[in-house]
């Protein structure tokens, strides 16, 4: 071993070994560079479908999508889902072959492998065709052809199929990739949860959650598997994170109703009783949601936030009570009437009306503005709570009262003609001492009700207490509210509103504002142009 010859031999041997090692390294590299696409083994049956479809150019993109799916990798081909028996409602023999297939794989087909997910979904409100149960034949107002691609496209998520199964999985898990990342995209939920009546996607995008998501999510892996006991792998939640997905303590669920505490899409906001036997009462559902909040936030924040949103829901009910009062009264007095054919009503004084202003305004005050008010408050959409919410709800109510006054209702006339600001608040109020965001120092010094009703907080106290006693707020929420009530000077910021340090900061802006107003007057208000009006002096 000591000779030069031996050394040379060793060099030779190790050179060969190194070359072998490098070939292996290169082999791994090549496999890696090719393994971006998973290996797919196509069985004979699927191969038949694919060959024929590609040859005829029918729905070939769907095949590409399938190739990207987990189904493709796990050996779930075409026939596994499209299999059909002769008597199946959707069975047909595929053109140019003798293969009997089902045109519409339903949740029953998905349940062959995804039983739990399908069962959870069927137990959710996604699967509930509520609009069929109460008279709201919208086709009297909106043409049936519109509903085909309108209502029915979204509400197909709760379709009851001829095979008795309910739902449509690919509404969220777009076929044929059935990708988790597509299902997770907020825009997927936003396909339906958008627009004037339930703008959840717009609310989400207005929220801090949505803002951060838009800014940072471009490179996030949204295709992860959500597992109980593992932290949420996203910096901010998407829709599914809070409503469906697992975290350290919660399991993943396809029951979107399992974590909701309100029925805030309804005419009245009420605490949900959806499948209480298995899902528990609203407090249990709220606990589940809070468990998700707690992955990122401190309890003090999210409990205060949610309690405030709950009080918004309760406040909505009081305004709703006004709408119902006026439309009922106007109907009773014959000022407005219901649509009727052969003893069957096509409108309802408390639900919808299509032809007369008060009915229409009441409908908007619930179905559009009233929902925005509540849903904005629940999901951090400030503008939807305020301008697209309460502002428009109030306008609707004022219009109803004005309409009643113009049509001879003396009580309405009294309100319409009143010069007192309380004319806008013909109902009881809820309130929260302060907010979840911090301690304001000046904002609570101006509101009309605070300054003109010394018993304001006593009234609010009684209202919140009444809601609590009715079971609309939990013990814990009542305690949180009481704590704030007892320290309201602190939480409202009044304690600090006249402190020198606050005043000195405030005065800076006050002076700037005075200067702004002065300049606005100088620049534009006092400007009188020499050119005459073109209308002045005309006969027509």
Q: Which is nearer to another protein, 9 or 448 (CB)?
A: 9
Segment holding 286, helix H or strand E: helix 282-293
Q: Which is nearer to another protein, 21 or 47 (CB)?
A: 21
Q: Which of 38, 75, 144, 231 binds another protein (CB under 8 A)?
A: 231
Least separation in angstroms between CB 441 and another protein: 30
SS3 102: strand
- Determine the Cα–Cα distance for residues 238 and 216; give it in Å rounded to an integer: 12
528 lines the binding site for another protein (CB under 8 A): no
Q: Which of 28, 160, 422, 508 binds another protein (CB under 8 A)?
A: 28
Contacts of 467 (CB under 8 A, 6+ apart): 314, 430, 473
Q: Which of 149, 219, 536, 538 binds another protein (CB under 8 A)?
A: 219
10 lines the binding site for another protein (CB under 8 A): yes
Task: Point out which span in 21-29, 77-85, 394-402, 520-528 binds another protein (CB under 8 A).
Answer: 21-29
Furthest-apart CA atoms within the chain: distance in Å? 124
- Determine the Cα–Cα distance for residues 366 and 268; give it in Å rounded to an integer: 8
2 lines the binding site for another protein (CB under 8 A): yes
- Determine the Cα–Cα distance for residues 431 and 457; give it in Å rounded to an integer: 8
- Residues 446-485 touching another protein, rule: CB under 8 A, are none
Q: Which residue has the tokens 């803002």?
A: 211
Q: Which is nearer to another protein, 41 or 248 (CB)?
A: 248
Task: Point out which span in 14-22, 52-60, 164-172, 315-323 binds another protein (CB under 8 A).
Answer: 14-22
DSSP states of 56-69 as a string?
HTSSHHHHHHHHTS
Task: Point out which span in 24-32, 141-149, 515-523, 529-537 binds another protein (CB under 8 A).
Answer: 24-32
4 lines the binding site for another protein (CB under 8 A): yes
Least separation in angstroms between CB 496 and another protein: 30
Q: Which is nearer to another protein, 24 or 59 (CB)?
A: 24
215 lines the binding site for another protein (CB under 8 A): no
- Residues 283-302 touching another protein, rule: CB under 8 A, are none
Q: Which of 425, 434, 422, 418 is nearest to 492 (CA)?
A: 434
Q: What is the dihedral of CA 416, 419, 420, 424, to 10 degrees?
A: 30
- Determine the Cα–Cα distance for residues 502 and 94; give it in Å rounded to an integer: 77
Q: Which residue has the tokens 């009643």?
A: 404
Task: Point out which span in 29-37, 124-132, 188-196, 378-386 binds another protein (CB under 8 A).
Answer: 29-37
8 lines the binding site for another protein (CB under 8 A): yes
Cis before 323? omega within 30: no
418 lines the binding site for another protein (CB under 8 A): no
- The site for another protein, by CB under 8 A, has a size of 21
Q: Which is nearer to another protein, 21 or 132 (CB)?
A: 21
119 lines the binding site for another protein (CB under 8 A): no
Q: Tell me, residue by residue from 171 to 210, as one string, x for binding to another protein by CB under 8 A and - for no binding.
A: ----------------------------------------
- The answer to whether the CB of 274 falls within 8 A of the CB of 258 is no
- Determine the Cα–Cα distance for residues 415 and 426; give it in Å rounded to an integer: 9
What distance, in Å, lies between the first and last C-alpha atoms of the chain?
120
22 lines the binding site for another protein (CB under 8 A): yes
- Determine the Cα–Cα distance for residues 162 and 164; give it in Å rounded to an integer: 5
Which stretches does DSSP call E strand in 81-148?
91-93, 100-102
Task: Point out which span in 12-20, 159-167, 328-336, 451-459 binds another protein (CB under 8 A).
Answer: 12-20
Partners of 352 in the β-ladder:
348
DSSP states of 447-497 as a string?
-HHHHH-TTHHHHHHHHHHHHHHTTSS-HHHHHHHHHHHHTHHHHTSGGGT
Q: What is the DSSP letter of 90?
A: T
**C-alpha 389, offset from chain centre:** 15
- Determine the Cα–Cα distance for residues 322 and 342; give it in Å rounded to an integer: 31
Q: Which is nearer to another protein, 27 or 144 (CB)?
A: 27
Q: Which of 32, 419, 420, 536 binds another protein (CB under 8 A)?
A: 32
Least separation in angstroms between CB 95 and another protein: 44
Task: Point out which span in 4-12, 64-72, 205-213, 476-484 binds another protein (CB under 8 A).
Answer: 4-12
Task: Point out which span in 5-13, 80-88, 448-456, 489-497 binds another protein (CB under 8 A).
Answer: 5-13
Least separation in angstroms between CB 221 and another protein: 11
Residues within the interface to another protein (CB under 8 A): 2, 4, 7-8, 10-11, 14-15, 17-18, 21-22, 24-26, 28-29, 32-33, 219, 231
């Amino acid at each position: 071993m000591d000779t030069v010859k031996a050394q040379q031999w060793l060099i030779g041997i190790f050179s060969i070994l190194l070359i072998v090692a490098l070939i292996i390294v290169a082999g791994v590299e090549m496999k890696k560079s090719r393994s971006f696409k998973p290996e797919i083994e196509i069985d004979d049956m699927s191969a038949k479908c694919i060959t024929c479809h590609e040859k005829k150019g029918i729905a070939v993109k769907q095949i590409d999508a399938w190739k990207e799916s987990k189904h493709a990798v796990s050996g779930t081909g075409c026939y596994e889902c499209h299999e059909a028996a002769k008597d199946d409602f959707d069975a047909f023999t595929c053109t140019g072959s003798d293969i009997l297939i089902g045109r519409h794989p339903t949740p029953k087909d998905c349940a062959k492998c995804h039983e739990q997910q399908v069962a959870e979904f069927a137990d959710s409100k996604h699967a509930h065709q509520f609009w069929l149960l109460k008279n709201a034949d919208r086709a009297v107002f909106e043409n049936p052809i519109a509903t085909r691609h309108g209502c029915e496209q979204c509400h197909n998520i709760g379709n009851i199929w001829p095979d008795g199964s309910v739902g449509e999985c690919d509404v969220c898990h777009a076929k044929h990739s059935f990708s988790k990342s597509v299902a997770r995209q907020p825009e997927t939920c936003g396909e339906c949860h958008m627009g004037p009546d339930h703008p959840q996607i717009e609310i989400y995008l207005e929220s801090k959650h949505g803002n951060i998501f838009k800014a940072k999510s471009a490179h996030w892996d949204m295709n992860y598997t959500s597992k109980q006991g593992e932290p949420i792998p996203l910096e901010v939640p998407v829709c599914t994170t809070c409503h469906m997905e697992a975290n350290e303590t919660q399991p993943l669920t396809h029951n979107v109703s399992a974590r909701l505490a309100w029925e805030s899409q309804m005419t009245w906001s009420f605490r949900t009783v959806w499948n209480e036997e298995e899902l528990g009462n609203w407090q249990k559902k709220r606990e589940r949601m809070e468990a998700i909040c707690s992955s990122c936030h401190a309890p003090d924040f999210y409990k205060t936030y949610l309690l405030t949103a709950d009080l918004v829901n309760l406040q909505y009910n009081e305004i709703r009570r006004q709408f119902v009062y006026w439309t009922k009264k106007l109907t009773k007095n014959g000022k407005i009437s219901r649509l009727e054919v052969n003893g069957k009503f096509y409108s309802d004084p408390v639900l919808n009306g299509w032809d007369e202003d008060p009915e229409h305004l009441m409908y908007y005050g619930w179905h559009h503005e009233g929902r925005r008010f509540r849903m904005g408050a629940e999901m951090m959409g400030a503008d939807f709570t305020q301008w697209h919410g309460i502002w428009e709800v109030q306008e609707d109510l004022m219009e109803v009262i004005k309409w009643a006054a113009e049509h001879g209702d003396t009580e309405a006339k009294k309100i319409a003609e009143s010069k007192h600001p309380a004319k806008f608040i013909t109902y009881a109020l809820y309130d929260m001492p302060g907010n979840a965001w911090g301690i304001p120092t000046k904002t609570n010094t101006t509101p009309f009700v605070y300054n003109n009703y010394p018993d304001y907080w006593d009234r609010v106290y009684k209202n919140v207490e009444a809601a609590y006693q009715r079971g609309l707020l939990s013990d814990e929420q009542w305690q949180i509210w009481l704590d704030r009530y007892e320290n309201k000077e602190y939480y409202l910021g009044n304690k600090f509103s006249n402190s020198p340090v606050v005043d000195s900061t405030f005065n800076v802006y006050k002076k700037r504002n005075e200067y702004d107003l002065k300049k606005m007057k100088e620049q534009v208000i006092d400007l009188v142009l020499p050119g005459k009006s073109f209308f002045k002096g005309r006969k027509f």
